Each structure stands twice: as structure tokens, then as C-alpha cells.
């Protein structure tokens, strides 16, 4: 592998790892606070899927980088500007509708994304993606089910679901940006071209929203920056909590 | 001669090691061995070393660390040099669950996975028929797709009213 590809592959694996880590940590914040017991267990399991995926990806990123950094060093000892996750993954959990709206947008993207990545010429990424596909199927059924139930529910749940969707909608487009790093890896048969998934994603979301009697949000703004280390104000607070133990007790192991 | 007892044939040690590995149980479903589950993918020799290849069931399965260290302990107790390697490709599937494993799951009160994943992917069909492990009724309903561990869903039997775990087709 040439130096450019190695550097790109590290950056790319770190991005996917940070997406999984930040979202997994957010979902875990529901533990013991979900609306009822079964949902608490469901969110706990889903959060665990993401954190587990983050561990695999960050471990692999460390191997590709080849500077001796392991999953813990990458997760706990990088500062906010070195985080490469999509902004949608770091947003606070908000209320239950906010969490399900974010999850629907992400899950509907991840299922086809990891299906495509499971064909990657990088066999480690392909293997991790193969596991992610199966998990994403359950995640999408879960979030779609809730968006329909809340949208097509009471006046209040309908209103909260519509509000949640309009708040998160502008964070969706960042998922479809393929910059030059990823484009080089797409050309090498390693990464997945994101723009190509956009129409299928839009159609999938519209199907769910229609069943939920919800309109596609009429939102003209959109933001990006996570891949460049430009984050929302929320990530710093999350990292402060997530990294506390490792910062207070350097080298700590479970 | 004293030494004849201490010096074992390498082949015997290797077979003995394989036997001990095949007896290891899953920490969360102790009626199943790692072999039943298909978590131990391969035990092979490379020169003097023994390589045990394992594969995770779910990305975030918390039992994987316990499993890897249980395997390592068996290796450390053996006179052979051994190490554990984790592979992700091809990804684990419940299709690898042995027939014996399915029977043991049912006896333990967990409904085994219904059908095969390849068929499901082909048909896009998630409406699997899950039988109650206690009374065999197929009149069952899903309570939650996410159960007490990543690999299980929570069901209830409509005939005998028992709630039960279902080992998800994965
Ligand atoms: Zn029954």
C-alpha cells in the first residue's frame, strides 16, 4: 500500500469509527431513562452495536496508522478538533422523537452504505461492514416503526415527531459528501461513493414519512464540517464526560 | 525412565488441546459450546504455534472479551505455544449454529433461529414463524426485537402465555 493510500485509509477508518463512537455514546445516554423497560433494553442494545463497531474500526485505524495507537488512545485522547464524525452523530439525544428522527436518517443511510462497503476490496472493512449490515437492518426497523407510531399517533406525538424531523433534517446532507480523500479510496475499490445512495435514501425516508402521515420537512439550511474537525458546541461537552476516566487515570484499563 | 512420562507426542497434545477448546461454553448461553455457535472458526498449527481463530457474533457483544480470554487460558495451560486471532470476514451468521446447538437451545427454553439468513436476505422477509420452545405452538408474537442480549429477541407464546427468548436469525 502506498503512503497516500495508507493515509487516506487511516482517515477514512477514523471517520467511520468516530461516527459509530459518537452516536453509540449518545444512544447509551438513554440507559435507564427510556420510556419503558423494553425500549430501554432496545436502545441499550443498539448503542452497544455502535460502540462495538467503533471499537473494531478504531482498532483497525490504529493498525493502519501504524504508530502504536490503540482503540482507547484514539477514542479517549484526541481533542474535539481531531474528531472526524458527521455532525448528525454528535447532536444531543433531545426527547424520544428527536432520537428517533436522527436514527431514521442515519439508519436509512447506513443500511445501503454498509451493504456496499461489505464488497470493499479491503477485507477488514468488508468484514466489519458485513456485521454492520445485519445490525442496521434491525436498527432501521426499530426507528422506522417508532417514526410511524409517533407520526400517526396523537396530535401531540405527531407534532413532536414533525418538530424533531425539521430540527435534524439539515444535518442529513453531510452524509452524502464524498471529498477527495474518500474519492481516491472509491477509485481504489475500498470506499463507497456516497452521492449514489442519495435517491434511494430519499425514497426510503419518504415511504416511512408517508406511512407516518408526516410531510418531508421544508428546510433550506444544511451544515457540514465534522470531517474537517469543525463541530457543534455539543461534542466538547460529550467528550468531557466520555473521556473523563482516561484523562484522570492515564493508561487505565478495564 | 522418568522422562518418558513428561515427554508427550506433539500430535497428542494438539488433539488434547482441541478437545479442551471444544468443551468451552458461551458465557451468556452456557448450554452452548463455542463450537456449537461457530465462534471458534479454526484451530491450526503454524510451525510450533497453535492459532485459534475466533469470530465475533455481534460487533458489540460484551462476551467476546470473556470468550477470547477463556480461549487464551486454555492455550496458556497447554505446553504448546498458542495465540488467539480474531477475524471478521466472512461475518458470523446463525446459519453456522449446529443442529445439536439448536436442539440444546430449545431444551434450555430459547427458541432457535427460524430459517436461514440467506433465504431471508433473498426474500426480504422478516415475518419469521417462531415456535414456542415450551409447547411448540407457532401462535407467538414479538414483544421486542431487542432482548436481554444482542443475539436475542423477546417473544410471548399466545397459546401457553409463556414469555420466551428467541435467538435471532442473524
Ligand atoms: Zn407456548
Q: Looking at the structure, do residues B17 and B65 belong to the same domain, yes or no? A: yes
Cell of A238: 460529550
pLDDT at site B2: 47
Q: Looking at the structure, do residues B72 and B98 belong to the same domain, yes or no? A: no
Instruction: Give the model confidence (pLDDT) of B69-107 as tens digits.
Output: 999 999 999 998 899 998 888 888 999 998 999 999 999
Residue B1 binned pLDDT confidence (cut-offs 50, 70, 90): very low
The answer as to whether B5 is a domain residue is: no
The answer as to whether B113 is a domain residue is: yes
The residue-averaged pLDDT of B32-38 equals 92
Residue B8 binned pLDDT confidence (cut-offs 50, 70, 90): low
Domain boundary among B86, B111, B136: B86
pLDDT at site B148: 82
CA of A67 to nearest chain B CA: how many angstroms apart?
A: 21
| Separation between Cα atoms, residue B22 and residue A250, nearest integer Å | 38
Cell of B118: 440467506
In terms of CATH, what superfamily is A3-214+225-248?
A: Ferritin, core subunit, four-helix bundle (1.20.1260.10)
Q: What is the domain-level CATH number for residue B36?
A: 3.30.300.130
Q: Please give the share of chain B, as a percent, with pLDDT higher than 70.
A: 86
Of A24, A126, A142, the CB nearest to B89: A126
* Sign (positive or negative) of CA dihedral A28, A123, A225, A246: positive
The residue-averaged pLDDT of B39-59 equals 90
Q: Looking at the structure, do residues B18 and B79 belong to the same domain, yes or no? A: yes
* Sign (positive or negative) of CA dihedral A94, A198, A174, A106: positive
The answer as to whether B6 is a domain residue is: no
Q: Do B154 and A38 touch (CB under 8 A)?
A: yes
The enclosing H or E element of A228 equals: none
Q: Looking at the structure, do residues B81 and B18 belong to the same domain, yes or no? A: yes
pLDDT at site B126: 56
Which candidate in B113, B146, B170 is best for mutational testing of the A interface (most A CBs within 10 A)?
Answer: B146
The answer as to whether B8 is a domain residue is: no
Q: Do A50 and B60 touch (CB under 8 A)?
A: yes
Give the structural domain span for B24: 13-86
Chain A residues with a Cβ under 8 Å from any Cβ in chain B: 24, 38-39, 41-42, 44-46, 48-53, 55-56, 118, 123-124, 126-128, 130-132, 134-135, 138, 141-142
Q: What are phi and psi of A192, to 5 degrees?
A: -115, 135
Of B59, B149, B170, the CB nearest to A53: B59
Domain boundary among B86, B105, B127: B86
CA of B55 to nearest chain A CA: how many angstroms apart?
A: 10
Q: Looking at the structure, do residues B81 and B129 belong to the same domain, yes or no? A: no
The answer as to whether B108 is a domain residue is: yes
pLDDT at B7 over 70: no
Cβ neighbours, 10 Å, residue B92: 24
Residue B170 binned pLDDT confidence (cut-offs 50, 70, 90): confident
This model of the complex carries an ipTM of: 0.76
pLDDT at site B122: 45
pLDDT at site A26: 98
Contact by Cβ (8 Å): B149, A44: no
Instruction: Give the model confidence (pLDDT) of B108-147 as tens digits.
Output: 999 999 877 655 544 445 567 899 999 999 999 999 888 8
Q: Looking at the structure, do residues B61 and B109 belong to the same domain, yes or no? A: no
The answer as to whether B7 is a domain residue is: no
Q: Looking at the structure, do residues B113 and B81 belong to the same domain, yes or no? A: no
Mean pLDDT in order along chain A per 10 residues (254 residues): 96 98 98 94 95 96 97 96 98 98 98 97 95 93 97 98 98 98 98 98 98 96 97 98 95 83
Q: How many domains does chain B have?
A: 2
pLDDT at site B147: 86
Domain boundary among B86, B110, B136: B86
The answer as to whether B1 is a domain residue is: no
pLDDT at site B124: 44
Distance B133 CA to ligand 1 centre (A): 7
Amino acid at each position: 500500500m502506498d503512503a497516500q493510500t495508507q493515509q487516506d485509509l487511516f482517515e477514512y477508518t477514523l471517520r467511520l469509527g468516530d461516527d459509530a463512537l459518537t452516536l453509540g455514546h449518545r444512544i447509551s445516554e438513554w440507559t435507564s431513562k427510556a420510556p419503558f423497560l423494553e425500549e430501554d433494553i432496545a436502545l441499550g442494545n443498539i448503542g452497544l452495536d455502535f460502540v462495538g463497531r467503533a471499537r473494531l474500526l478504531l482498532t483497525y485505524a490504529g493498525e493502519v496508522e501504524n504508530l502504536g495507537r490503540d482503540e482507547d488512545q484514539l477514542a479517549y485522547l484526541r481533542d474535539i478538533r481531531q474528531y472526524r464524525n458527521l455532525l448528525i452523530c454528535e447532536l444531543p439525544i433531545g426527547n424520544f422523537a428527536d432520537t428517533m428522527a436522527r436514527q431514521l436518517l442515519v439508519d436509512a443511510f447506513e443500511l445501503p452504505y454498509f451493504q456496499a462497503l461489505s464488497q470493499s476490496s479491503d477485507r477488514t472493512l468488508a468484514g466489519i461492514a458485513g456485521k454492520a449490515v445485519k445490525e442496521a437492518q434491525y436498527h432501521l426497523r426499530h426507528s422506522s416503526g417508532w417514526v410511524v407510531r409517533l407520526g400517526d399517533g396523537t396530535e401531540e406525538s405527531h407534532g413532536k415527531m414533525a418538530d424533531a424531523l425539521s430540527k435534524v433534517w439539515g444535518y442529513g446532507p453531510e452524509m452524502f459528501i464524498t471529498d477527495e480523500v474518500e474519492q481516491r479510496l472509491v477509485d481504489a475499490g475500498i470506499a463507497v461513493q456516497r452521492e449514489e445512495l442519495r435517491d434511494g435514501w430519499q425514497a426510503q425516508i419518504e415511504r416511512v414519512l408517508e406511512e407516518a402521515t408526516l410531510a418531508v420537512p421544508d428546510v433550506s439550511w444544511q451544515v457540514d464540517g465534522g470531517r474537517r474537525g469543525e463541530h457543534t458546541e455539543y461534542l466538547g461537552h460529550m467528550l468531557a464526560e466520555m473521556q473523563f476516566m482516561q484523562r484522570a487515570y492515564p493508561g487505565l484499563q478495564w | 525412565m522418568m522422562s518418558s512420562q513428561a515427554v508427550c507426542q506433539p500430535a497428542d497434545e494438539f488433539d488434547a488441546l482441541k478437545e479442551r477448546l471444544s468443551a468451552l461454553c458461551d458465557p451468556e448461553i452456557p448450554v452452548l459450546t463455542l463450537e456449537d455457535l461457530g465462534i471458534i472458526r479454526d484451530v491450526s498449527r503454524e510451525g510450533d504455534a497453535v492459532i485459534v481463530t475466533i469470530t465475533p457474533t455481534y460487533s458489540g457483544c460484551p462476551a467476546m472479551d470473556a470468550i477470547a480470554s477463556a480461549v487464551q487460558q486454555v492455550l496458556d495451560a497447554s505446553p504448546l505455544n498458542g495465540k488467539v486471532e480474531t477475524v471478521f470476514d466472512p461475518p458470523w451468521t446463525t446459519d453456522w449454529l449446529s443442529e445439536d446447538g439448536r436442539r440444546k437451545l430449545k431444551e434450555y427454553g430459547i427458541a432457535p433461529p427460524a430459517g436461514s439468513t440467506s433465504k431471508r436476505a433473498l426474500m426480504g422477509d422478516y415475518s419469521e414463524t417462531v415456535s414456542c420452545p415450551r409447547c411448540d405452538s407457532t401462535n407467538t408474537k414479538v414483544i421486542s426485537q431487542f432482548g436481554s442480549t444482542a443475539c436475542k429477541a423477546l417473544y410471548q407464546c399466545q397459546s401457553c402465555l409463556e414469555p420466551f427468548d428467541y435467538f435471532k436469525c442473524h
